[in-house]
Chain A
Amino acid sequence: MSILLWGLANDPPMAAVKEALDVLRAPYLFLDQREMAETRVTLTVGRTIAGFVECAATRLSLAEITAFYLRPYDTRRLPTVAEAGEDSQLWRHALQTDEILLAWADFADALVINRPSSSASNNSKPYQATLIEAFGFAVPDSLITTDADTVLTFRSHHRDVIYKSISGVRSIVARFTDSDKSRLADVAWCPTQFQEYVTGRDYRVHVIGDEVFACEVISEADDYRYASRGGMPVEIRRASLGSGVESRCRMLAAGLGLPVAGIDLRRTPSGRWYCFEVNPSPGFSYYEHATGQPLALSIARLLMQASPS
Chain B
Amino acid sequence: MFVVLASQWDEQAAALVRDWSGARLLTPDDLSLPGWVFCSSRPQKAIIVAGGEPLPVAEISGVFTRLPQVMPHELIRIVPADRAYVAAEMHAFLLAWLTSLQCPVVNCPSPQCLAGPAWGRERWVYEAAMLDIPVVEVARASAGSPSSLMPGEVVTVVGQTILGTPNEQLRANAARLATGAKVTVLAASFQDGALLSASPWIDIADATIVEALASHFSVVENGL
Q: Which residues of A contact B (CB under 8 A)?
A: 39-47, 49, 92-93, 96-97, 99-100, 103-104, 106-107, 116-117, 120-121, 123-127, 129-130, 139, 141-148, 150, 154, 165-169, 188-193
Q: Is B141 an interface residue (CB 8 A)?
A: yes
Please give, as numbers and ranges, the residues of chain B lying within 8 Å of A44 by CB-CB distance.
137-140
Q: A97-B142, A141-B40, A144-B38 in contact; A45/B96 too (CB < 8 A)?
A: no
Task: Check A96 against B141 for contact (C-beta < 8 Å).
Answer: yes
Q: Pick the most buried of A100, A104, A144, A169: most chain B CB atoms within 10 A of its CB.
A: A144
Task: Check A120 against B31 for contact (C-beta < 8 Å).
Answer: no
Is chain B's binding surface mostly helix, strand, loop or mixed? mixed
Known A127-B95, A150-B37, A189-B86; further 14 A-B contacts with Cβ < 8 A: A42-B141, A43-B122, A43-B141, A44-B138, A45-B122, A46-B137, A47-B137, A96-B140, A121-B111, A123-B91, A124-B91, A125-B92, A127-B92, A144-B39
Count of B residues near A, CB < 8 Å?
48
Q: Is B73 an interface residue (CB 8 A)?
A: no
Query: Considering only CB atoms, which chain A residue lies closest to B38 in the complex?
Result: A144
Give the Cβ gap from B77 to chain A, nearest Cβ, in Å: 7
Task: Check A46 against B40 for contact (C-beta < 8 Å).
Answer: no
Please give, as numbers and ranges, the residues of chain A lying within 8 Å of B219 by CB-CB distance.
none
Give the Cβ gap from A135 to chain B, nearest Cβ, in Å: 16
Instruction: Give the docked Cα–Cα distance between A162 and B92 (Å).
Output: 18
Please give, as numbers and ranges, the residues of chain B lying within 8 Å of A46 by CB-CB distance.
125, 129, 135-138
Instruction: Give the docked Cα–Cα distance between A183 and B92 (Å).
Output: 23
Query: Considering only CB atoms, which chain A residue lies closest to B112 in the complex?
Result: A120
Task: Check B111 against A127 for contact (C-beta < 8 Å).
Answer: yes
Task: Check A124 against B142 for contact (C-beta < 8 Å).
Answer: no
Task: Check A130 against B96 for contact (C-beta < 8 Å).
Answer: yes
Task: Check B38 against A145 for contact (C-beta < 8 Å).
Answer: yes
Q: Report B120-136 residues with CB < 8 Å from chain A CB.
A: 120, 122-123, 125-126, 129, 135-136
Q: Report B73-131 residues with CB < 8 Å from chain A CB.
A: 77-78, 85-86, 88-93, 95-96, 99-100, 110-112, 118, 120, 122-123, 125-126, 129
Q: Is B32 an interface residue (CB 8 A)?
A: yes
Please give, as numbers and ranges, the residues of chain A lying within 8 Å of B37 by CB-CB distance.
143, 145, 147, 150
Q: Is B207 an interface residue (CB 8 A)?
A: no
Q: Is B34 an interface residue (CB 8 A)?
A: yes
Q: Is B224 an interface residue (CB 8 A)?
A: no
Task: Check A142 against B40 for contact (C-beta < 8 Å).
Answer: yes
Task: Check B126 against A45 for contact (C-beta < 8 Å).
Answer: yes
Task: Check B36 against A169 for contact (C-beta < 8 Å).
Answer: no
Query: Considering only CB atoms, which chain B residue lies closest to A103 in the complex?
Result: B122
Q: Is B33 an interface residue (CB 8 A)?
A: yes
Query: Considering only CB atoms, which chain B residue lies closest to A119 in the complex?
Result: B111
Query: Considering only CB atoms, which chain A residue lies closest to B40 in the complex?
Result: A142
Give the 6 A-B CB pairs with smallest separation, nearest first: A46-B137, A120-B111, A126-B96, A167-B92, A124-B92, A167-B88
Instruction: Give the docked Cα–Cα distance between A192 and B136 (Å).
Output: 45
Task: Check B39 against A141 for contact (C-beta < 8 Å).
Answer: yes
Please give, as numbers and ranges, the residues of chain A lying within 8 Å of B41 by CB-CB distance.
141-142
Query: Considering only CB atoms, which chain A residue lies closest to B32 in the complex?
Result: A189
Give the Cβ gap from A260 to chain B, nearest Cβ, in Å: 18
Give the Cβ gap from B124 to chain A, nearest Cβ, in Å: 9
Query: Considering only CB atoms, which chain B residue lies closest to A118 in the complex?
Result: B111
Please give, as numbers and ranges, the residues of chain A lying within 8 Å of B57 by CB-CB distance.
none
Please give, as numbers and ranges, the residues of chain B lying within 8 Å of A47 by CB-CB distance.
129, 135, 137
Please give, as numbers and ranges, the residues of chain B lying within 8 Å of A168 by CB-CB distance.
88, 92
Give the Cβ gap from B49 to chain A, nearest Cβ, in Å: 7
Task: Check A188 against B120 for contact (C-beta < 8 Å).
Answer: no
Instruction: Give the docked Cα–Cα distance between A34 and B142 (Å).
Output: 15
Task: Check A189 against B78 for contact (C-beta < 8 Å).
Answer: yes
Task: Check A191 against B93 for contact (C-beta < 8 Å).
Answer: yes
